[in-house]
Each structure stands twice: as C-alpha cells, then as structure tokens.
Amino acid sequence: MSNKRFENQVAVVTGAGRGIGEAIAKSLAAEGAKIAVVSRTEANSAKVAADINAATPGAAKPYAVDVADFDAVQKTGDQILADFGRCDILVNNAGVTRDTLAMRMSSDDWDTVLQTNLKGAFNFTRAVLRAMVKQRSGRIINIGSVSGLMGLAGQANYAASKAGLIGMTKSIAREIASRGITANVVAPGFIETDMTAVLNEEVRKGALAQIPVSRFGATADIAAAVSFLCSPDASYITGQVLAVDGGMSM
C-alpha cells in the first residue's frame, strides 16, 4: 500500500510554469498525483512537465492556454479530462500584477489583472466542476494573496482580484459542499519568486518590517499548505482562507 496522499488522483495546476505554481505541481506529483501543467506559454509548461516526468515517467502533460479566455479554457478542460479521465484537484494559481497608484492606473491595467486573476479562476473552475460533481469528490484551491486581505498601496486592481477570489470561493464552496467537494483559498504573503526578486532593497526592507517572522516565505511553504488542503486531513475544511504570510495580515 502506497503512503502517497494523492496516488491515482489528477491535479490541474494553472500558472504552473514557474514560481509558486511550479512548486505546487511538483509537490503534488511527488505525492503521487498526475499533473496537468497549465501555463500561458508552451515552453514553460513543457519544461515543468518534463521535470516531473523525469522523476515519474508519464505523470505530467503540458497545456498552454490563456486562463482569461473562457472558450479556450473550456476546450483545454475538455482535453485534460479526455487525457486523464478525471480531475480530483484544481489549483487556480495563474496571476499577473500591473502595480501602480489608482490615480495613474489605466483601464487596461485594471482589466488585465481582473480577467486573469479572477475570471481566469472562474473559467477553470467552470471547466472541471461538472466532472468533480459527477465523481462526488474534489478539491479546489484558489491562490489568493495577503493583498486581498489587507490591501497594499499600488495594488487596487490586484487586491480587488484577490478579494473577489475569496468571495467567489466561499460561494462555490456552499454550492458544492453536499457533493463531497471543498473549495478554499491559500493567501501567500511575500514569497521568494521571480515576482519578488525584482523588488528594490528599499521595498524589500519595507516589506520585511511588516512581517512578524522577519523573512520572506519559500514556494515550498505555499505548496505544503495546498497539499494539506487537498488531503483527506482537510475534508472538513471548506470556504476558508489560509494565510501563509509570516503573520503579516493578522
């Protein structure tokens, strides 16, 4: 008997081409899940799928799609279900930022962030939810942000998208609870990724001053929280927000 928590399960991870999404995909794969690696670019999804398959041959397939495109996502969802036969875990991680003060923010800055971060999560949920309902089992994890809990200057669009994700998750959690499906949010704080690597020293110092544990998190911290919420140990947890932020938003 395998002690891998996700043996014979299929996980769809969006924004899995790098950073937090890549860490989540690899973590779930290490515990036995087969992975649909979704990224906007073919190159990124193919690279992560190849890494996973090098460790466990045949465990991953790459998919390239813009999560903001409803019709394209439904087609990709159909393809994933045809390829794997089921979907047990959906991790909506794809996200973008267009940071600037509200008085300077363009309509395009607003729309791009909301379409990717919020509508994109709805699009993929819509694409696999019917399959989960038929199975009467499933886990949906939406990757939020500390910004959606407390608001950060220069992130009106990003904070709105992540706060919206919380409301959407709670509503969906109520709709599907009787079908054995849970939906939760993991809200990262400042995590060491490509996104935070571009912050200048002054911004980093300012961020660290707001974090009680006095350090940025690692992508593995987020992957561990996601794995817990996907596991049988979390079967009685739904509609919740788990902040993994070193205490920043408490």
Strand locations in 195-248, DSSP E? 241-244
Beta carbons within 8 Å of 78's beta carbon, 6+ residues apart: 127
Name the residues annotated as catalytic.
158
DSSP secondary structure string for all residues of 67-103: TT-HHHHHHHHHHHHHHHS---EEEE---------GG
The residues near 93 (Cβ < 8 Å, ≥ 6 apart) are 13, 14, 15, 16, 20, 21, 24, 143
Backbone phi and psi for residue 185, each to the nearest 5 degrees, phi listed first: -115, 135
User: How many C-beta neighbours within 10 Å does residue 34 have?
Assistant: 23
**Measured distance CA(96)–CA(14) in Å, rounded:** 12
Residue type, 217: G
Q: How far apart are CA 208 and CA 104, in angstroms?
A: 26
Among residues 21, 116, 3, the alpha carbon closest in space to that of 60 is found at 21
